[in-house]
């Protein structure tokens, strides 16, 4: 970068900050280079941005450096935060690891290959594939957008059977219908394929190698870890996951997730052409959201109420947010739109 461009970039980035107290340092012993993890940007600067509604934490990483870290409403760096459906993106990463380690053969393997004897289902449902579950087009009747189906599913005596008792109302592979229950089947498949709980598998192959030791994860009534939501992480650990994804699966000097799988999961697998607030052309990968309608393409892990890992590869930028999650669907949408406006409208432009 020539001197003029360098000073221009620095001036734009500086607009985010006003002098105040120092950023909270990372844990002792944390790696200090983009290739090996997060690095605190040592400065006495603080964002002048007002928090969006419901925001609990805001972290900004530029070129692998943590340049902004803010907490709100009593949340702290060491607080476990519900990341809700970001859990789904974590499950996608675990599927990729399971394929690489030989626990799974391919994404064309079926429900029947793993869940026969775990639940009752007919041949048509048994033929549903891992890929179809990861792209939300298994064909089940499911009404999650208003929140009611998720609550009914969680209250059911058997979460796996509840999903598999739902009728198939569209041809599998042809119609997108957001379905946390379907993603939960992936967690059960991981457990049956590996002989380990989803949490234990994650701790062995994903969280452990990344140094993520503090987490919580809810289970269903049969003891399977919730594949659709229920994971709690510290904000910095969520940021570490986002950085690992941005680094094509590398973190701490290790290839945690195969680079080819990270690419496959974060490219369009199903075209939606959906618009939501500042997101202008949203499509779906393998349990990741993609937006090609911005000035730069965006990769999103997205949880209910405004839990975001918002990556902008062209700018080497990652924005991580957590927010209040136990809110009504109407409040949820208001929060999400406010947080997306903060990210897309006020943070990302400063790094162009």
pLDDT at 43: 39
pLDDT at 38: 47
Whether residue 17 contacts residue 43, with contact meaning beta carbons closer than 8 Å, is answered with yes
Is 303 a residue whose pLDDT tops 90? yes
Average pLDDT over residues 161-189: 97
Average pLDDT over residues 252-271: 97
- CA 332/CA 297 separation, integer angstroms: 24
Percent of the chain with pLDDT over 90: 83
Distance of CA 48 to the CA centre of its chain: 27
Average pLDDT over the chain, rounded to an integer: 88
pLDDT at 49: 65
- CA 308/CA 70 separation, integer angstroms: 15
- Dump the DSSP string for 91-138: HHHHHHHHHHHTS---TT-BHHHHHBTTB---HHHHT-BHHHHHTT-S
Average pLDDT over residues 14-18: 32
pLDDT tens, residue by residue, 265-282: 999 999 999 999 999 999
pLDDT tens, residue by residue, 306-348: 999 999 999 999 999 999 999 998 899 999 999 999 999 999 9
Least trusted range by pLDDT, from 9-23, 44-58, 130-144, 240-254: 9-23
Q: Which two tokens stand for residue 8?
A: 């221009």
**With bands split at pLDDT 50, 70 and 90, how would you rate the model's confidence at 48?**
low
105 conformational bin, left if phi > 0, alpha if psi -120 to 50, beta if neither: alpha
Is 14 a residue whose pLDDT tops 70? no
The number of beta carbons lying within 10 Å of the beta carbon of residue 313 is 15
Q: How much is the pTM?
A: 0.88
pLDDT at 1: 41
Higher pLDDT, 229 or 53: 229
């Amino acid at each position: 970068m020539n001197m003029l461009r360098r000073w221009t970039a620095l001036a734009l980035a500086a607009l985010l900050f006003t002098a105040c107290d120092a950023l909270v340092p990372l844990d002792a012993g944390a790696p200090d280079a983009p290739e090996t993890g997060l690095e605190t940007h040592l400065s006495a600067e603080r964002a002048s941005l007002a928090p969006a509604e419901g925001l609990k934490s805001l972290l900004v990483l530029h070129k692998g450096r943590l340049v902004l870290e803010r907490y709100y409403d009593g949340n702290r760096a060491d607080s476990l935060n519900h990341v809700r459906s970001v859990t789904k993106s974590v499950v996608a990463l675990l599927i990729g690891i399971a394929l690489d380690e030989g626990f799974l053969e391919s994404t064309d393997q079926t429900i029947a290959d793993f869940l026969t004897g775990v639940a009752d289902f007919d041949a048509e449902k048994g033929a549903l594939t891992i890929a179809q579950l990861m792209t939300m087009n298994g064909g089940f009747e499911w009404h999650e957008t208003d929140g009611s189906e998720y609550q009914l599913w969680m209250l059911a005596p058997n979460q796996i059977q509840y999903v598999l008792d739902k009728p198939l109302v569209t041809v599998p592979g042809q119609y997108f219908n957001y379905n946390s229950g379907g993603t939960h089947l992936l967690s059960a498949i991981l457990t049956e394929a590996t002989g380990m709980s989803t949490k234990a598998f994650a701790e062995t192959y994903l969280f452990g190698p990344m140094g993520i030791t503090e987490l919580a994860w809810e289970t269903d009534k049969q003891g399977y870890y919730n594949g659709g939501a229920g994971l709690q992480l510290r904000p910095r650990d969520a940021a570490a996951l986002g950085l690992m994804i941005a680094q094509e699966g590398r973190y701490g000097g290790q290839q945690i997730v195969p680079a080819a799988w990270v690419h496959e999961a974060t490219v369009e697998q199903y075209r939606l052409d959906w618009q939501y607030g500042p997101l202008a052309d949203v499509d779906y990968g393998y349990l990741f959201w993609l937006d090609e309608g911005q000035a730069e393409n965006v990769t999103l892990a997205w949880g209910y109420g405004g839990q975001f890992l918002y990556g902008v590869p062209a700018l080497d930028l990652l924005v991580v947010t957590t927010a209040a999650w136990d809110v009504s669907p109407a409040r949820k949408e208001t929060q999400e739109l406010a947080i997306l406006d903060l990210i897309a409208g006020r943070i990302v432009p400063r790094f162009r």
